[in-house]
Every structure is written in C-alpha cells, then in structure tokens.
Amino acid sequence: MEVILKEDVNNLGHRGDVVKVAEGYGRNYLLPKKLAMEANAANKAVIEQMKASAVRRSAKEKTEAEALVIQLNAVSLVFVRKVGEHDHLFGSVTSADIARQLEEKGFHIDRRKVHLEEPLKQLGEFHIPVRLHREVTAHVAVTVNGDSASPE
C-alpha cells in the first residue's frame, strides 16, 4: 500500500513523503491517526501544496527552535532524591521529571522530546539532549543530588 505522510513518522519518513507500507500498518495505524492518506492521483496533486506549506512551516519551526536552544543551553536543573547506602538512589529521574521542571521554568517541552536513554539512577551531573526540531538539539544540564537526611 502506498501512502502520503501528513506528519513526520519515526523510522518511516517525513511530512509529504510517498512511502510504501504494509496494508495493516497503513489501514490500522497511519490512516486512523491521520498521519497519512492514501496515495492516489487526486491526493498526489494535493501533496504538492502540502509540501510547499510544510517547507515553510518547517523553516519557521527551525528558527523558533534555534532561538529556544540558546535559552535551554543556559538552563540547569537540580533534582534531589533519597539516597541509600553506597549512593544508591531510591527512585530515578525520568524524562517526564525533566519536562515537568522545564515547564515550571517557563519552557513548554513535551517529555518525548527529552532524549533520555534510560532514567537517571545515580548521583552526578548529566547533559541531556532535548530534540526541539529534526535538525536542532539543545542540551540541558541536569544535576542529581542526594537528600541530606541520613537513613535511620
């Protein structure tokens, strides 16, 4: 089945691409979620207009993302977690925690844009990538400290 992507889809393609996918994937996932439309003659004419607007929208999003990178690179987040013996953390710092604290500082970042391979489970300083745009990535400094209360 050939479909035209309306949005960027990871590991498949970008907005406006014509891609060949399995029947079930297209019919049960891409089409119902409005991520794609069937590739036929009428839709292919419409896609040319979509591509032009997508290029304009992508350029605008990229300039906004580049402006946000400068602000985000200066941000430093501090998390305090309970610590047991041998600096073992009880709980971890997840991408949702990072996104929530960024939200409190006035940055509206979706947690899925915070690229954390796995939750932070140790003390220290980390530089976490935040993918704002396909071509623009910021790095946020995250410090995980142990709480000062001693275990009983």
Structural domains in the chain plus CATH codes: 2-62 (3.40.5.10), 70-146 (3.10.430.100)
Q: State pLDDT tens for residues 25-56.
A: 999 999 999 999 888 878 877 777 777 787 88
Instruction: Please give the torsion angle defined by the CA atoms of residues 78, 83, 85 and 88, in that order, rounded to the nearest 10 degrees.
Output: -60
Q: Which pLDDT belongs to residue 97?
A: 92
Q: Which pLDDT belongs to residue 148?
A: 63
Residue the block writes with tokens 């071509």: 135
Q: Hey, what are 5's tokens?
A: 């992507």
b/e 92-119 (16+ beta carbons within 10 angstroms → b): ebebebbbebbeeeebebeeebbebeee
Q: State pLDDT tens for residues 66-108.
A: 888 888 888 899 998 888 877 778 888 899 999 999 999 988 8
Angle at 126 between CA 121 and CA 129, to 5 degrees: 110
